[in-house]
Structure 1
């Protein structure tokens, strides 16, 4: 099949939902570091009529991301990129979270910014954590997140916390990385615009994917996550389909041609609840 290529980096719950929603009738490139998961999703989608090609990628390695971008561009005009690859605090040590969630996103923005077709668009998955950490990132650090070479990002002082407990270091690294993603996408929007393309980020709240459940059930964050689900304005978990619907809007240039460099919260009103005190981020025993 020849047509406008959709690239989905990361085939967890959100990535698979985006691929299924946007992939009908066009070439789809699925990429992931987990080759077992990648093969399973690719095979299932092919059996359901999708034109899928899979490629293993390590987003923390620029060369690997460059190969992926070149592979996708060899199939036709790359008009949609959805980058969902990431690790949560319950899944990996701080160093690996920084390598994947921070450096990996910067690599992807750089490399796909070289091949995105005119009229195309990219969506990068950040997190509500990036908004929660907004005030923790000062102007000097924000400038580094926006402009430093990708390979230097993990050396930012905020991500070097040798005296911080392991669980807290993971959570802090994740939050800083997701705030960095929002900043980096905004900074890259003019460059993508030079190619006639757009790029935005999406910040989900608690979403019922395997990663979301890992976080929801993690002991160190369980009380806060319970409140983020039960006390948000929607009164429920988010779903991968909620995120896919937002990605569909942002990747469709007939609907969002004047939207670039922004972050879209898809959190069921969770951040609004945090700001008003309806949603509590403190342990249950400390609530009044």
Structure 2
């Protein structure tokens, strides 16, 4: 049976992940926008990948369920890597909550019935989730269609983004038992600043100067490359991480440590 890799998000991180773990497998790339999805899928095919694009709005539970169903129909789901999302610099509070918060819950829920022993799911959260000042346990367990009612972040996009990414981490922790019972694993990866189009847009935003100054202050002095994130995803979806589930891996060049101990 064909092994299938599903990657949501046709941006720099998603394409890097598809390249890293998609060789010899059927790659299903999903994105809300048809044009970048077509470009990314075409580029992967030109490089020899068996890639297919499916337009999917992860904020829509019906669309996400259709994606999961299509993936299961193509073979055994070996990995699901959820990179799709929006940023505080370019999206409204409502968009952040619908895509980054509720959309991630849809992915976790929709793929659960289709995973099998050996399947690994990785959701991209963010270093921002580690900056949340308090945990709201309801974010981990309430049904996806009730998440917006417990968010409560007002009109601050940064607060919405922090809450959404912390919720991603918590929700994956809570989902680990159900995935374990099906022989599958689920984890989050929390990047810092990665050199993608989204990060460049953030760098040009009012908070961009502070974001870039943090990279120097923490000592790393550079952004991460998408390939560095893909390498960690490859570990979490590979045979060397079979005992790792329900946890988060922070890849931020030491920014969170600097914020906690040296700021």
Task: Name the TM-score, length of structure 2 as normaliser.
Answer: 0.97
SS in 1 for 2:54: strand
**1:94 equivalenced with 2:93 (yes/no):** yes
> Corresponding residue for 1:196?
183
**1:275 equivalenced with 2:240 (yes/no):** no
> Corresponding residue for 1:236?
222
Unaligned runs of 5+ in 1: 279-288
Q: 1-side partners of 2:48 and 2:187: how far apart?
A: 29
The root-mean-square deviation of aligned C-alpha atoms, in Å, is 1.1
Quote the offset at 1:157 in angstroms: 4.6
Q: 2-side partners of 1:152 and 1:104: how far apart?
A: 12
1:206–1:228 contact (8 Å) kept in structure 2? no
**1:225 equivalenced with 2:224 (yes/no):** no
Quote the offset at 1:224 in angstroms: 2.2
How do 1:151-162 and structure 2 match up within 5 A? Answer: 151-159=145-153, 161=154
1:171 to 149, 158, 163: 158
> Corresponding residue for 2:134?
136
Q: 2-side partners of 1:275 and 1:101: how far apart?
A: 25
> Corresponding residue for 1:247?
233
Q: 2-side partners of 1:232 and 1:250: how far apart?
A: 26
> Corresponding residue for 2:9?
10
Shift >6 Å, 4+ stretches = none
Q: 1-side partners of 2:38 and 2:30: how far apart?
A: 10
Q: 1-side partners of 2:262 and 2:139: how far apart?
A: 30
Cα deviation per residue 1:224-274 (whole Å; 9 max; x = unaligned)?
Answer: 20222222342211111111011000111x100000000100001111111
Quote the offset at 1:92 in angstroms: 1.2
Q: 2-side partners of 1:232 and 1:213: how far apart?
A: 19
Quote the offset at 1:156 in angstroms: 1.5
> Corresponding residue for 1:286?
none
1:117–1:197 contact (8 Å) kept in structure 2? yes
Cα deviation per residue 1:52-95 (whole Å; 9 max; x = unaligned)?
Answer: 11101011111100000000000100010000010001121100
Unaligned runs of 5+ in 2: none
Cα deviation per residue 1:112-147 (whole Å; 9 max; x = unaligned)?
Answer: 1111121110000000110011x233xxxx221111
Greater Rg over alpha carbons, structure: 1
SS in 2 for 1:185: helix
Quote the offset at 1:47 in angstroms: 1.1
**1:148 equivalenced with 2:134 (yes/no):** no
2:4–2:25 contact (8 Å) kept in structure 1? yes
